[in-house]
Structure 1
Amino acid sequence: MPVTPAALTHAEDLADFVEASPSSYHAAEEVARRLQEAGFTRLEEADAWPAQPGGRYVVVRDGAVIGWAVPAGAGATRAVNVFGAHTDSPGFKLKPKPTTGAFGWLQAGVEVYGGPLLNSWLDRELRLAGRLAMADGSVVLAATGPLLRLPQLAIHLDRGVNDGLALDKQAQTQPVWGLGDPASADLLGQVAGCAGVEAADIRGFDLVVADSARGAVFGAEDAFFASGRLDDLASVHAGVVALEAAGERIAGDSNGPIAVLAAFDHEELGSNSRSGACGPFLEDVLERIYASLGAGPEERRRAYASSWCLSSDVGHSVHPNYAGKHDPVVKPVLGSGPILKINANQRYATDAIGAAAWVAWCERAGVAQQEFVSNNDVPCGSTIGPLTATRLGLRTVDVGIPMLSMHSARELAGVADLHALSQVAGVFLEG
């Protein structure tokens, strides 16, 4: 697919979105902020919710966010179309008592979060970001600028490094952030200063390490986009852009489905949390939406029977240097369109009915699409798709964009694919 001016604008907006979303908590708040600017009303879970159709709303639970638009003519059995994604990415999370160090170096105590490509985090300027729980009961988002680095050992001290690099997850992944005596230093103080709070008032924290470099378009004819956290902020961004653009039309419609963007946390850990896809967040929100339309369990189940979930997460493009790792026939490549993800063992939830629907949505959006399936000797990962299908019974299709360097500190996608995914998301949400 050609890289159009609209696709380049979309990529620049994605760079802004990723920069504003160094943690899942920031991503959830950024989605809420953007939807509010587009006319959505922010709700709190502890409050009573509006009880009439025709509205646009958004709610945040920790590092997850759900936004939705209810058509003005919606009744108790109106179908719902859910565009699902996740806000977290593999990397590192700060441990308790995080200020460490030795030999005049200040270091940060971190543990591995999910399954990152460890060596990709070496020799990059990194930042800390997340949330702080304060003594007065408030929760504050915090993010530093470039602060940390994982310096690699020089080749003169490890002559065999180019024959294979294996990092010890405890001893060799603790980044440096300054010089001095750890006994008189305070890493949390650095974070607190960026947030405008006192370190002494911090009672708890969820802080992750993020690459500080901005996303960039590059390559011949601007084909490529590189950034941290594309898994899965590329999908979250596609969904929020689509819902921003279509929300007002959906709410004013009488015939379309209820349109939902659901971005969950903790997918990289298996989704087992109150804000993950295995948790009750989406079900809680849908129950309250349908209750506002006068639906009981019977009506809600009837609505679910004609509903869809489009689970969007990244997938593998064929790698030109490792073609043997991919299926010998099905070889998606950057720039040729979003992918339909298929797996016989239901690691992805796509079936024949879902595949036909996906092709129709892509045709309506005017974008090319391609398929992804794993090499039989290289088992694939999974997504929120099977989890959502199992929990709610919604017919679910697993899709995404092809990419290289998945789980790297800086991943590689196709500019045209990023924009195309958002176009299909818009068609899907409008029904």
Structure 2
Amino acid sequence: MERKNAWEKYQGAKDQSLVMKFAEDYRRFLSANKTERECVSYFIEKAEKAGFRDLEEVIASGRRLSAGDRVYRQHMGKTLALFIIGSQSLAQGMNILGAHIDSPRMDLKQNPLYEDSDLALLDTHYYGGVKKYQWVTLPLALHGVIAKKDGSLVSVNIGEKPEDPVFGVSDLLIHLSARQLEKPGAKVVEGEALDVLIASRPLEDCDDQVKERVKANVLRILAEQYGVDEEDFLSAEIEVVPAGAARDYGVDRSMIMGYGHDDRVCAYPSFAAILASKAQERTQACLLVDKEEIGSVGATGMQSLFFENTVAELIAATEDYEEIKTKRALMNSMALSSDVSAAFDPNYPDVMEKKNSAYFGRGLVINKYTGARGKSGSNDASAEYMARIRRIFDDNEVYWQTAELGKVDQGGGGTIAYILGNYGMEVIDSGVAVLNMHAPWEIVSKVDLYEALLGYQAFLAAKEL
């Protein structure tokens, strides 16, 4: 069953300007926000301008919430939940958009800085599923924070401005790569070889007792520019990401190439949808979480109790609190797990099954199930819920398609859908198709991004699911 190309819906410059404007806003967001902390800070700033209040302040003041109130709550600067309170009791459920804002990358180890052969390097540990050989010989940037013992937080962002230096991981020259190229792809570049070269100039006018002078010069620069010392790396969170802005891709400018489409290409339209939404009967929620790429674990991942606890606080702030109301609110909710899907790549057709693949330009992708092999790790939405989602999208003229993540037994992947499903709520995966998924530079279609926005807006506004 072939779906129409969504570009046909936008004939003429006026209609396409809506797609292009939203895509440009997203491109700028993607270029400027490459970590979870940066995303949360950006979203909170925009949310407050749109009338959202910090739920922590509401709780502290003892004020009550009522229909139409807009609130948000963040956790550890890496996870964010936004709500528009509906006229119905929360116990009757919510319409939830859930996406993640972490992306594959490299993190600095706690003791990262060392010198070898008059070169200073930073030792890293890769985060999430990556093809390690893709991360060599690229211009890289450092983003993150350094927490000092006095309680102050130092922000780090080096490599994005045109005048900034960049960093990188070196690779073996082709002339000496005979044995390297005999290795399987997973071993061509080992994880412990992903060390970032950052300096080569020795410290001037130093004591003869200083043996590692290049490293000493790096520490001098860090002390002068950031007021930190080597020990402060122990309480730092520095992420190594591709340097540079996201770019229009293709001679027709129909696509965007950038770092972190997975899953910010779903998080951004999810956030935009709730920002523009009006109060409805059902409470609306947008949940943007961390740690999905490593199993949704930890205090800021979907497996934490952050969302459940926040729903309990909302109930306490809107009506008489009973624990059973929290359970009912979650079980009676409906959710879109907004995560990306693999786009069909004509360069690699063997891993895809054409009838059940996602294609660029054909709109928002619905994955009834993800997982691997025999649907292991999958949520597998009910047929009834699939039918409701079809109706919502069709009634609102949203272009959409269905897909699986490659051929059976070829591989697979997961999302936060099954974790939301643990509450007994109806959940289905719904996102944007991506080429080069998990590579340093991924590609998406602008029209698919815009159809995601329209689909998410229609879902939030749905009165009966």
Q: TM-score scaled to structure 1, two decimals?
A: 0.90
- Is residue 2:39 matched to residue 1:27? yes
Q: Could you give the per-residue CA deviations for residues 93-122 of structure 1, whole angstroms, max 9, x where no partner exists?
A: 001122123222221110111111222222
Matched, 1:156 2:175: yes
Decide whether the 8 Å contact of 2:125 with 2:192 is kept in 1.
Answer: no
2:119·2:200 contact (CA, 8 Å) conserved in 1? yes
SS in 2 for 1:89: coil
1:271-313 per-residue CA deviation (whole Å, 9 max, x = no partner) reads 1111100001110111111122224233333433431111011
Residue number in structure 1 paired with 2:99: 85
Contact 1:128–1:207 under 8 Å retained in 2: yes
Give how far 1:208 is off.
Answer: 0.9
1:83 CA drift (Å): 0.5
Partner of 2:398: 367
Partner of 1:426: 457
**1:60 matched residue in structure 2:** 74
- For residue 305 of structure 2, the aligned residue among 262, 266, 280 is 280
Relative to structure 2, which stretch is displaced further, 277-286 or 420-429? 420-429
* 2:106–2:240 Cα contact (<8 Å) kept: yes
Alignment counterpart, residue 415 of structure 2, candidates 383, 395, 409: 383
Q: Secondary structure, in 3 states, of the residue corresponding to 1:207?
A: strand
2:126 partner SS: strand
Q: What are the equivalent positions in structure 2 for 1:30-41 lying under 5 Å apart?
A: 30-41=42-53
Compared with structure 1, are the counterparts of its residues 37 and 117 closer, same or farther at alpha carbon in structure 2 (3 Å cutoff)?
Answer: farther
Contact 1:99-1:187 within 8 A present in 2 as well: no
Kindly tell me: are residues 155 and 76 of structure 1, through their superposed partners in 2, closer, same or farther at Cα, counting changes over 3 Å?
Answer: closer
The amino acid across from 1:134 in the alignment is K
C-alpha contact (below 8 Å) 2:199/2:218 kept by paired residues: no
State the partner residue of 1:7: 19
Moved more, 276-285 or 3-12: 3-12
Q: Give the aligned partner of residue 18 of structure 1.
A: 30
Specify the code of the residue in structure 2 equivalent to 1:339.
Answer: V
Q: Distance in 2 between matches of 1:423 and 1:287?
A: 30
Cα distance between partner residues in 1 of 2:229 and 2:99: 34
Which structure 2 segments of 5+ residues have no match? 1-5, 11-15, 161-165, 202-212, 370-374
Residue 116 of structure 2, aligned match among 88, 99, 102: 102
Q: Tell me how many residue pairs correspond in the alignment.
A: 421
Match of 2:245 in 1: 214
> What is the distance in 1 between the residues matched to 2:224 and 2:38?
16
Secondary structure of the residue aligned to 2:357 is coil
1:29 touches 1:60 (CA, 8 Å); kept in 2? Answer: no
Aligned to 2:199: 178
Kindly tell me: are residues 76 and 422 of structure 1, through their superposed partners in 2, closer, same or farther at Cα, counting changes over 3 Å?
A: closer
Tell me how far apart the structure 2 counterparts of residues 178 and 365 of structure 1 sit (CA, whole Å). 55
Q: Which 10-residue stretch deviates more, 180-189 or 100-109?
A: 180-189
Q: 1:192, 1:199 within 8 Å by CA — same for their partners in 2? A: no
Q: Which moved more, 1:409-418 or 1:119-128?
A: 119-128
> Which of 298, 305, 322 does residue 296 from structure 1 map onto?
322
Provide Cα deviations, 1:200-224, integer angstroms capped at 9, x if missing partner. 7946111111112211122143222
Report the 3-state secondary structure (helix = DSSP H, G, I; strand = E; otherwise coil) of the residue aligned with 2:361: coil
Q: Indicate yes or no: 2:83 matched with 1:51.
A: no
Render the CA deviation track for 1:314-335: whole Å, top value 9, x for unaligned: 1111110111101242122111
Match of 2:136 in 1: 122
Taking structure 2 as the reference length, what is the TM-score of the superposition?
0.84
Structure 1 residue 361: Cα displacement: 2.7
Contact 2:159–2:167 (CA under 8 A) maintained in structure 1: no
Q: Which has the larger radius of gyration?
A: 2
Amino acid at match of 2:421: A
Q: Does 1:347 align with 2:362?
A: no
The answer as to whether partners of 2:91 and 2:332 remain within 8 angstroms in 1 is no
Match of 2:148 among 105, 130, 134: 134
Answer whether contact 1:99 1:185 (CA < 8 A) is retained: no
Question: Which string of whole-angstrom CA distances, capped at 9 and with x for unpartnered residues, describes residues 26-71 of structure 1?
Answer: 1111111111121211243884564221311122112111111113
Q: 1:357: how far off?
A: 2.3
Whole-Å separation in 1 of the counterparts to 2:63 and 2:353: 50
Q: 1:106 to 1:375 in 2, by over 3 A?
A: same
1:395 aligns with 2:446: no
Instruction: Provide the rounded CA distance (Å) in 1 between the counterparts of 2:270 and 2:219.
Output: 35
Percent identity between the two aligned chains: 21
